[in-house]
Amino acid sequence: MNSSKRNTLLLALVSAVAAYLFFRADNFWGLVTASLIVVWALVGALPIMDGPWRTKVGFVVAVFFGSLVVLWPTLEGMSDGKIPCPAYVKDRIDFGIVKGLDLQGGLRLVYTVEVDEAIRDKRDKFADEMRNELAVAMKIHEGEGLLKREELTKLEEKVHVSAPETAILKIKFKDPADTKYVDERFAKKFGGELTQLKGGPGEVIFKIRSDVETQIRDKAVSQAKETVNRRVDELGLREASVTTRDEDIIIEVPGKDEKAFNEIKEIIRKTARLEFKMLDDDADFFGKIPDSDVPTSENIEIRFENAPAGPGKSVKTHFARIEKREDESMGQALERLKKWTSTLEVPDDHVIGFEKIEDPDEETGKFIEKGWRTFYLFSRAEVTGEYITDATRAVNTQSGMPEVYVAITFSPAGADRFEEVTGANVQRRFAIILDDVINSAPVIKTKIGGGKASITMGAGDPDTQLKNAEKLEMVLRSGALPAPITPSNESLIGPTLGDDAIKKGAIGAIAGVGLVLVFMVFYYRKSGFVADAAVLFNLVIQLAILASFSGTLTLPGIAGLALTVGMAVDANVLINERIREELRAGRSIRAAVEAGYDKAFSAIVDGHVTIFISGLILAQYGTGPVKGFAVTLIIGIVASLFTAVFCTRLVFDWWVRGAKVKSLSVGAEF
């Protein structure tokens, strides 16, 4: 036994031991990899041909068996269990090919991103930055940290920054001479994204530039898609597809479970915009509203409460409350309350917030939703959800009754900001707002450091609290939508369409592939059989790659597979025809094979590269079915080069160097 063979067998033995250890450690992919190396090494130790040839064949055999392992759970599903997959394998492979919407029916949702809201958010950030710059210039603020509430009050006495339109910012100075503070330095800071317009006396007007607006719109749609994608992934919907078209997000979820569809719609649409805003209890906004302006016929009334107003202080403040009618939902009651509050003259630096009212039921002990109440808030969000890095649900049992909450963790910047805000507002109320609804308004007892906070799940029963906590945890972890999305279209595609598509698509694909394979054997004889084997190996590799990426099989994808079969056959036709030409020219069999592959290679690469580039362009700019077609086409092109050039060459090499055939079966005349 020579040293090369000894080393190969030693590699097989070491790999077998490694495979056993991986099995004991329940490392499935380590086991698979080590087992494939064993196969590779054993093929390399066979007493045929030379070492390099055996190494290449071993690699091909390992790829083949590796592809079958990856496809095993998919094959069981596609064959309705006729190809059984062991539970050990199935439990450890969490990916596979699934049928697309056009093959099994399902839910198609189209949401429109409200990009104007994203523009308004950007505008409000500019407004905060301008207030900060003006406060520094007017010696009201030192320039470090956030503007404190007292500093904002002093600034408001001199200048008012408002946002009268979506992309417009207006700076109105009480003293027209103060326009000097909007100097060259100020204009340089904001000039990159804002255009200065002519205003009245003591006014400076800025408008967000049109190209910046376009960037904000594009970014909002892109971020919304990424967020929806993350939520879809969190739900475990690997077969769902998310695409965009202009300002629309299209979600396609194959399946038939309507209950699951309703949950999906609720999760996807949830904006998950988390904000922390300070209450302005000192202003007593609702206490100044005349009784005659309160529509008691709508079950709206004004009540009062004592609220903390700083260390050792409290103030009497009022709020509006609405009772839910028996024949309406909580949402309808909230709309009635919002309709009335929209008639009130609220300063543009304040907003009205809304919180659910829940009272305990004496008989059941459960909490019942009764209506809504208001809070008077500063419009500026002191901390937002963009600073959140993690969210985890938990249960607090210290109070006797289990209370479910979601613990959130801030980024370092968010932690510093949260600590600064809470430190500056001890013994004041702080509203936690999720999707424009106040979750709670706790009193800040002391400065909160460490970058931690929590959101309680209300006073419902534990099961409901836990379910709501799971949803909140998921949407916070996946991130908030950059702008709200509204449903613009929803359609359920019936399973009969899928059955019909499967039958016709399968018949068309099988018939096309079958005719090509039969023709190859008929025309090229044994070489045609080799080409057919390479084509089928090509399909196995393609499907394995699609399965490893949890690909979705659609009708365009089937078309892409059928087209790549044609490409793979075309490569073998070029090789066989080149070999035939060399044989006609009187070359030896070995010389004809080498020359045939060498001369056909450039033509094969040219054809494959041009289609590969076309596939890349389709994948980059196409959506939905077009993109699915492009992806399968790209994978097929790569697999085709491997099987048509590399794998078939190994067979021809064995014929001419191992079997040393006297004639080559590449057609009837040879």
**Tens of pLDDT, residues 100-145:** 776 777 888 898 988 898 898 889 889 988 998 899 889 888 877 7
User: Band of the pLDDT at 366, cuts 50, 70, 90?
Assistant: confident
What order of strands is seen across the sheet that includes strand 314-323?
300-308, 314-323, 367-378, 350-360, 437-440, 430-434, 274-278, 383-384
With tokens 């020219």, the residue in question is 585
Closest C-alpha among 657, 380, 492 to residue 107: 492
Strands (DSSP E) contained in 188-286 are 194-197, 203-208, 241-245, 248-254, 274-278
Distance CA 296, CA 322 (A): 9
Q: Is the pLDDT of residue 280 over 90?
A: yes
pLDDT score of 620: 77
Residue range 59-86, pLDDT digits in tens: 999 999 999 999 998 888 777 778 888 8
User: Band of the pLDDT at 442, cuts 50, 70, 90?
Assistant: confident
**Percent helix, strand and coil across the chain, each to the nearest 5:** 55, 20, 25
Higher pLDDT pick, 137 / 234 = 137
Distance CA 466, CA 404 (A): 6
Phi, psi of 278 (to 5 degrees): -80, 145
pLDDT score of 479: 67
pLDDT score of 624: 59
With beta carbons less than 8 A apart as the criterion, state whether 592 and 582 touch.
yes
User: Band of the pLDDT at 498, cuts 50, 70, 90?
Assistant: low
pLDDT score of 547: 85
β-bridge pairing 552-553 and 98-99: parallel
With beta carbons less than 8 A apart as the criterion, state whether 99 and 498 touch.
yes
User: Band of the pLDDT at 334, cuts 50, 70, 90?
Assistant: very high
Higher pLDDT pick, 493 / 133 = 133
With tokens 């077609």, the residue in question is 629
Distance CA 12, CA 43 (A): 10
Q: Is the pLDDT of residue 625 over 80?
A: no
How do the domains of the chain map onto residue ranges? 1-94, 116-212, 274-489, 494-670
With beta carbons less than 8 A apart as the criterion, state whether 123 and 170 touch.
no
Give the amino acid at 602. S
pLDDT score of 505: 67
Alpha carbon separation from 62 to 18, 65, 92, 645 (Å, rounded):
17, 5, 20, 18
Distance separating the N- and C-terminal Cα atoms of the chain: 40
Mean pLDDT on 645-668: 85
**Assigned token pair, 274:** 């988390």
Q: Is the pLDDT of residue 663 over 60?
A: yes
Q: Is the pLDDT of residue 343 over 90?
A: yes
When computed from its CA atoms, the radius of gyration of the chain, rounded to whole angstroms, is 34
With beta carbons less than 8 A apart as the criterion, state whether 127 and 169 touch.
yes
Question: Which one of 3.30.1360.200, 3.40.630.30, 3.50.30.30, 3.50.50.60 gives the CATH number of domain 274-489?
Answer: 3.30.1360.200
Distance CA 109, CA 239 (A): 15
With beta carbons less than 8 A apart as the criterion, state whether 388 and 475 touch.
no
The answer for residues whose C-beta is within 8 angstroms of residue 288's C-beta and 6 or more apart is: none
Higher pLDDT pick, 268 / 443 = 443
Distance CA 670, CA 667 (A): 6
What whole-number percentage of the chain has pLDDT above 90? 22
Phi, psi of 145 (to 5 degrees): 80, -175
User: Band of the pLDDT at 227, cuts 50, 70, 90?
Assistant: confident
- Buried (b) or exposed (e) across 228-266, using 16+ Cβ within 10 A? bbbbbeebebebbbbbbeebebbbbbbbeeeeebeebbe
**Assigned token pair, 317:** 């403040």
pLDDT score of 637: 84
What whole-number percentage of the chain has pLDDT above 70? 91
SS3 399: coil
Residue range 563-606, pLDDT digits in tens: 777 778 888 888 888 988 888 888 888 888 888 888 888 888 88
Alpha carbon separation from 225 to 244, 255, 387 (Å, rounded):
7, 21, 20
Mean pLDDT on 597-622: 84
Distance CA 145, CA 513 (A): 69
Q: How far is CA 312 from the centre of its chain?
A: 48
With tokens 């949830």, the residue in question is 270
User: Band of the pLDDT at 400, cuts 50, 70, 90?
Assistant: low
Distance CA 1, CA 8 (A): 11
Arithmetic mean of pLDDT over the chain: 84
**Assigned token pair, 458:** 């209300």
With beta carbons less than 8 A apart as the criterion, state whether 624 and 241 touch.
yes
**Assigned token pair, 150:** 């007292």
Give the amino acid at 449. G
Q: Name the most confidently modeled range: 58-67, 81-90, 195-204, 634-643.
A: 58-67
Q: How far is CA 307 from the centre of its chain?
A: 42
Closest C-alpha among 23, 19, 3, 15 to residue 40: 15
Beta-bridged to residue 350, according to DSSP, are: 378
pLDDT score of 367: 75
Q: Is the pLDDT of residue 21 over 90?
A: yes
Give the dihedral of Cα atoms 173, 174, 176, 181; nearest 10 deg.
-40
pLDDT score of 628: 67
Distance CA 354, CA 367 (A): 18
SS3 145: coil
Mean pLDDT on 511-534: 87
Element (H, E) at 531: helix 526-548
User: Band of the pLDDT at 275, cuts 50, 70, 90?
Assistant: confident
The answer for residues whose C-beta is within 8 angstroms of residue 323's C-beta and 6 or more apart is: 299, 333, 370, 371
Predicted TM-score of the model (pTM): 0.60
Alpha carbon separation from 556 to 160, 242, 417 (Å, rounded):
58, 17, 51
User: Band of the pLDDT at 617, cuts 50, 70, 90?
Assistant: confident
Alpha carbon separation from 658 to 48, 526, 572, 648 (Å, rounded):
7, 16, 21, 15
pLDDT score of 354: 95
Residue range 453-477, pLDDT digits in tens: 777 766 556 677 777 777 677 667 7
Q: Is the pLDDT of residue 424 over 70?
A: yes
Q: Is the pLDDT of residue 326 over 70?
A: yes
Phi, psi of 206 (to 5 degrees): -120, 145
- Buried (b) or exposed (e) across 187-199, using 16+ Cβ within 10 A? eeebeebbeeeee
515, with CB counted inside 10 A (0-12, 13-18, 19+), is exposed
pLDDT score of 310: 87
pLDDT score of 100: 72
Task: Name which CATH class applies to 494-670.
Answer: mainly alpha
Q: Residue 418: how many CB atoms within 10 A of its CB?
A: 24
Strands (DSSP E) contained in 457-560 are 485-493, 552-553
**Assigned token pair, 45:** 């130790």
pLDDT score of 344: 94
With beta carbons less than 8 A apart as the criterion, state whether 56 and 646 touch.
yes
